[in-house]
Structure 1
Amino acid sequence: MKSAFTKSRPLAVAVTALIGLPAMLSGCGTAASSSSTESVSEISVMDYYNNEPDKTFIGDALTACGTKAGVNIKRETVPGKSLISKVLQQSSSKTLPDVLMLDNPDLQQIAATGALAPLADFNISTADFAPGVLSAGTYKDKVYGLAPTVNTIALFYNKDILTKAGVTPPATWDELEAAAAKLTSGDQYGLAFNANPTYEGTWQFLPVMWSNGGNEKNIDTEETAQALQLWTDLVKDGSVSSSALNWTQADVKDQFLAGKAAMMVNGPWQIPSLDKQASLQYGVVKIPVREAGQTVVAPLGGEVWTVPQTGNKARQAKAAEVVSCLNSDENQLAMAKVRNTIPSKTTLAAKFAEENPKLATFTELVKTARARTGQLGEEWPAQATKIYTAIQTALTGKATPSEALKQAQGQ
């Protein structure tokens, strides 16, 4: 959903790690050459990493890949909320950049306009990528974008608080409800999650919905109603603050950091902030399932890199070399480590989890994580809106979970 930030260590050290990438880039894949004889010395890139430290990390990786491809990188960073409108405008005026980064749920919308080139046109390898990652970059059976690293969400817990209360990290819904109730005392809630009326609220609900067999094509089902009943019960009995209806994921993190939530649903991009508080001892487990034995299915977050249809074959070929380079094994591992994200290739998972134990749970979850657009494609935003609308309706007591889902589905 949201790109992960880097680990909380001195910026210079982390940046140096990425600046050292040129020596590693010899292993980068090489895209097919253009048939044009035009000489290309510079290509343009647009992304939404406009805040530090990601702005520098991604910039260094782009520069290194540009050097490998023999071109300078002219980069433009824009605010995330402005990216899609800008891309649609550029597509209409035929001024798209040579390389374009997109949040993975947005790829379908842009690919549907014909603005992107299939990566197969440039012989970019898609081997070893996790199924969910390929699904996120695919439109009508063609891969248009690849993500070097991805993320998802899990359950963080405060080790000291749980130990003091004699509570073990929950693995099922019953265990979660019991643990959250026992851990709720005074101004401390047992659990914090985000249920606000945005795509973030939907994103945080998807693990309980999907793991229970719920389907975004039709949310008016028993499986999804059971998941929403869990969310509703946790708020109704006071184990989760009613403020969850307005919290962002950053707010959830702040509650956890302040000791006002013993557990939270969140992503690995929060790890740098958590690690800054030396007294905080935390662990991470998969979000509980309704019944033991069910597979946890979490949503896949992360950004994909694409090659727009600019009409200039020589520039497209160079752009493809950069996209291929960003997705090399070496770059995936280096970028994942400094940005607290997960390599997209399954062959890298075991090594990465071993070397980065705090990200081991997320690495395991990515194996079965699903792209939000995997089933609905460009229709996902409308259905995501229905999901968070139903969540709001149920958690505010305006309707039962079943009724709220039925109403939202019919909208």
Structure 2
Amino acid sequence: MRHLYRPFVAAVLATGALTSAAACSSSDGGGSGGSASGAYTFWDPYPQFDASSDWAKRVANCGTAAGVTVKRTGMDTTDLGNKALLAAQQGNAPDVMLVDNPVVSTLVQAGILNKARDLGLDTSTIQPNIIGAGTLDGAAYGVPIGANTLALYYNKKVLKAAGVDPAGIKDWATLTSALQKVKAAGKMGITFSAIGTEEGSFQFLPWFWGAGGDLTRMNDPGGVAALSLWKDWLAQGLAPKDVLQNTQTTSWQEFATGKYAFGENGTWQLANAAKAGFPYGIINIPGQHGGSAPVPTGGEFVTVPVQRKTGRYAVSTKIVNCLISPTSLLATDTTLSYIAPLAAVQKEQVQRDATLKPWVSAVAAARGRTSNGLGTKYPAISEQLWTAVQSALSGGKSPQGALDTAQQATASHS
């Protein structure tokens, strides 16, 4: 089990000279910037897409349109963040890089990303809550390729057999009651990801925020209530114990077996949902006492790392614009099953696929993980949050005790 932010933040703190070194390097002239001759390097956190995938073809076509060959490398988010820092130190950063939106502020702190406006990239029409995840001190460091968030997929057959009407699920009590009925009918209740990485925090946040949780006071009653809910579900057998190891991908694979009533997951699973072999529906994650819980804004930013050879920026910008300009964004987000960050493109998406309508409204109301001034503080908070979830669900500590420890650890490093 790898942790997303522990080595990442440690690397930032251990390379105090990185900011000034990277900033100085950007004044050099044109050239290869460490990339292979005649090719532009492109890193993304999509190792699941091989060279034959629609995504890889889209990236390659954008290189062709810019008059170059793109050498794409997909790696998981953990490796991408760490390797980005190392490559910047070595003066060998990729030309274009997609990073998870909370990582942007950390990379900016390390001084290795260019401002979007310095590259001539237009961010003026992007939804504020989406561009905000990659904005520091009024400047955007990249452009969101799209956005996604979380909801509850449900298996219509499983719910019907258990006598559960999904329209009646309004809060935690009615959801738990539905899970109990499903279990009594011989099926599994709900699966999600509680793994000890950012994916675990991402999946926990709707429940945390849905109870009024505050990331600056994780051990307040709201946070404790959310963690107690998950712990109770495991104790009652309403959720499997392997949520502790589940990524969002393996959690989806469990739901796709057809044995589960609910699966917490995101827009990126829509294509897989269509192939699942059973009828499904989607409902918003309920708040503790009703209403829809706030959900986190997910998705990546297309960024252009600082290079020693600034002559490469013009082509890098062409590649970025090919992926995120209004004229091509629909194709990009359709390929990735993302919701576009532009209202006009969102409208086109819904016209083509009406099932995206609830996702568009969910993304519009989603909350950035680094918002409310958290910025670069978020990674440390998130690490303590997922550690608390792991501790409580594994039986190591009570929900209150786990979150007390998390809050104390965060406060001691603030």
Q: Please give the TM-score of this superposition, normalised by the length of structure 1.
A: 0.82
Greater alpha carbon shift after TM alignment, 185-194 vs 213-222 = 185-194
Deviation at 1:283, TM superposition (A): 0.5
- Please show how residues 36-55 of structure 1 align to structure 2 within 5 Å: 44-48=40-44, 49-52=46-49
Counterpart residue type for residue 347 of structure 1: A
Counterpart residue type for residue 149 of structure 2: T
Closer, same or farther in 2 for the Cα pair 1:377/1:272, shift >3 Å?
Answer: same
Counterpart residue type for residue 237 of structure 2: G
Which residue is equivalent to 2:81? 84
Counterpart residue type for residue 130 of structure 1: Q
- Please show how residues 324-363 of structure 1 align to structure 2 within 5 Å: 324-363=321-360
- Please show how residues 176-187 of structure 1 align to structure 2 within 5 Å: 176-185=175-184
Deviation at 1:123, TM superposition (A): 2.8
Which residue is equivalent to 1:115? 112
Return the match for 1:400 from 391, 398, 401: 398
Name the SS of the counterpart of 2:97 in structure 1.
strand
- Please show how residues 307-326 of structure 1 align to structure 2 within 5 Å: 307-326=304-323
Which residue is equivalent to 2:254? 255
Report the Cα distance in structure 1 between the residues aligned to 2:384 and 2:190, rounded to whole angstroms: 24
Counterpart residue type for residue 45 of structure 1: T
Which residue is equivalent to 2:71? 75
Report the Cα distance in structure 2 between the residues aligned to 1:329 and 1:364, rounded to whole angstroms: 20
Q: Is residue 224 of structure 2 the alignment partner of residue 228 of structure 1? A: no
Closer, same or farther in 2 for the Cα pair 1:158/1:56, shift >3 Å?
Answer: closer
Which residue is equivalent to 1:173? 172
Counterpart residue type for residue 173 of structure 1: W
The percent of aligned pairs where both chains have the same amino acid is: 31
Greater alpha carbon shift after TM alignment, 156-165 vs 376-385 = 376-385
Which residue is equivalent to 1:389? 387
Report the Cα distance in structure 2 between the residues aligned to 1:403 and 1:365, rounded to whole angstroms: 32
The Cα offsets for residues 73-118 of structure 1, whole Å up to 9 and x where unpaired, read as 3323042242222221221122223222222222222111211111
**Structure 2 contact 62–323 (Cα < 8 Å) conserved:** yes
Name the SS of the counterpart of 1:184 in structure 2.
helix
Deviation at 1:55, TM superposition (A): 6.5
Deviation at 1:311, TM superposition (A): 4.0
The Cα offsets for residues 261-298 of structure 1, whole Å up to 9 and x where unpaired, read as 111111233333333233x00011111112234x5321
Report the Cα distance in structure 2 between the residues aligned to 1:88 and 1:39, rounded to whole angstroms: 21
- Please show how residues 2-401 of structure 1 align to structure 2 within 5 Å: 44-48=40-44, 49-52=46-49, 56-69=53-66, 71-80=67-76, 81-169=78-166, 170-185=169-184, 188-278=187-277, 280-293=278-291, 295-374=292-371, 375-401=373-399
Greater alpha carbon shift after TM alignment, 374-383 vs 87-96 = 374-383
Instruction: Tell me which of the two structures has the higher relative contact order, counting C-alpha pairs closer than 8 angstroms and 6 or more residues apart.
Output: 1
Q: Please give the TM-score of this superposition, normalised by the length of structure 2.
A: 0.82
Deviation at 1:406, TM superposition (A): 1.0
**Structure 1 contact 43–318 (Cα < 8 Å) conserved:** no
Report the Cα distance in structure 1 between the residues aligned to 2:134 and 2:52, rounded to whole angstroms: 22
Deviation at 1:209, TM superposition (A): 1.2
Give the aligned length: 374
**Structure 1 contact 148–344 (Cα < 8 Å) conserved:** yes
Q: Which structure 1 residue ranges, 5 or more long, are not aligned?
A: 1-35
The Cα offsets for residues 293-324 of structure 1, whole Å up to 9 and x where unpaired, read as 4x532122222111222143432123223222
Closer, same or farther in 2 for the Cα pair 1:93/1:338, shift >3 Å?
Answer: closer
**Structure 1 contact 101–305 (Cα < 8 Å) conserved:** yes
Closer, same or farther in 2 for the Cα pair 1:348/1:213, shift >3 Å?
Answer: farther
Deviation at 1:187, TM superposition (A): 5.3
**Structure 1 contact 128–347 (Cα < 8 Å) conserved:** no
**Structure 1 contact 346–367 (Cα < 8 Å) conserved:** no
Name the SS of the counterpart of 1:190 in structure 2.
strand
Considering only aligned residues, what root-mean-square deviation do their CA atoms show, in Å? 2.7
Report the Cα distance in structure 1 between the residues aligned to 2:60 and 2:188, rounded to whole angstroms: 46
Report the Cα distance in structure 2 between the residues aligned to 1:261 and 1:79, rounded to whole angstroms: 30
Q: Which structure 2 residue ranges, 5 or more long, are not aligned?
A: 1-27, 410-414
**Structure 2 contact 188–260 (Cα < 8 Å) conserved:** yes
Deviation at 1:68, TM superposition (A): 4.2
Which residue is equivalent to 1:32? none
Report the Cα distance in structure 1 between the residues aligned to 2:382 and 2:73, rounded to whole angstroms: 27
**Structure 2 contact 31–309 (Cα < 8 Å) conserved:** no
Closer, same or farther in 2 for the Cα pair 1:55/1:171, shift >3 Å?
Answer: farther
Report the Cα distance in structure 2 between the residues aligned to 1:234 and 1:390, rounded to whole angstroms: 16
The Cα offsets for residues 309-360 of structure 1, whole Å up to 9 and x where unpaired, read as 2143432123223222311123221122232221121332233134223333
